[in-house]
Structure 1
């Protein structure tokens, strides 16, 4: 079985498991070019066991929490394995990255990512998932490098 079939099959299984756990949510698909090292890491995973978890946390002013990552404002996120409770990972990531506590209300969206090697366009597409949980701030003050802002999906797409 080739990498395309292997990773797309794993993504289909993961989507089914997410629907069982979290009910309905929107599903998007996006193709992105990544550095060769990231492409290789995702390609070499046995059965596509990792996925990206993002958290969109709102405060009482409906502003969204962003954290600094290499000079960019991004939603709190991490890469994890699929064999954990993903909503707990999202909540823990917010706590670790921003120093606040939040309640995760649900799974807002899932993006199927088709990854291309940025240095070799002839390589096969590798498929993986990025999930976006939505939650609300419950306590704490955002720490250094964390800010509350209005959400613009064009500036901060859910897949990255």
Structure 2
């Protein structure tokens, strides 16, 4: 029970901090099974206290920033590092992955994810936290006219899409 208890306590601590910073945020819980390698990654990320963050970054028109990730368009996402707060991680992840700066406005939803090892039924469930944030781009969004933009030396592409086309449910 050690892994389950510690990971659950970390999640509860992060949720308490999130509420202090952003007020009440809807919280969902889900449990799923993954292979042994993915389970070990979840255990390590839990030990390190990492939180998964997803960013709905809006431009002045209300469109949402998407980035090209191996041929599919996704909102910027990543994990906290060390003692980094989730909102600070959003700013860092958006800058690193999309080449733009943003201001975090609020937390949209938090999901407690129970991760089970599908190849070892005796392994404890490890708990992770995933948070979806709304943010606003700092400054004007540049666009080359076709909905995409090359970003610095990262060769990443971004585009802006109508917010109604991007579903929160697909993120977690």
Normalised-by-shorter TM-score class: 0.7 to 0.9
Distance 2:113 2:46 in 1: 17
Please identify which structure carries the higher strand content.
Answer: 1
Distance 1:96 1:28 in 2: 28
Aligned residue in 2 for 1:4: 4
Aligned residue in 2 for 1:152: 166
Offset, 1:112: 0.6
TM-score, structure 2 normalization: 0.78
CA RMSD, 1 decimal: 2.4
Task: Answer whether contact 1:55 1:134 (CA < 8 A) is retained.
Answer: yes
Distance 1:113 1:45 in 2: 12
Aligned residue in 2 for 1:37: 37
What 5-or-longer segments of structure 2 have no aligned partner? 143-148, 151-155
Aligned residue in 2 for 1:132: 132
Residues 109 and 82 of structure 1, relative CA distance in 2, 3 Å threshold: farther
TM-score, structure 1 normalization: 0.83
Aligned residue in 1 for 2:62: 62
Distance 2:138 2:32 in 1: 34
Distance 1:119 1:66 in 2: 35
Distance 1:145 1:118 in 2: 36
Offset, 1:27: 0.9
Distance 1:127 1:152 in 2: 26
Task: Answer whether contact 2:35 2:119 (CA < 8 A) is retained.
Answer: yes
Distance 2:89 2:2 in 1: 31
1:71 maps onto 2:85 in alignment: no
Distance 1:70 1:119 in 2: 28
Distance 1:145 1:2 in 2: 43
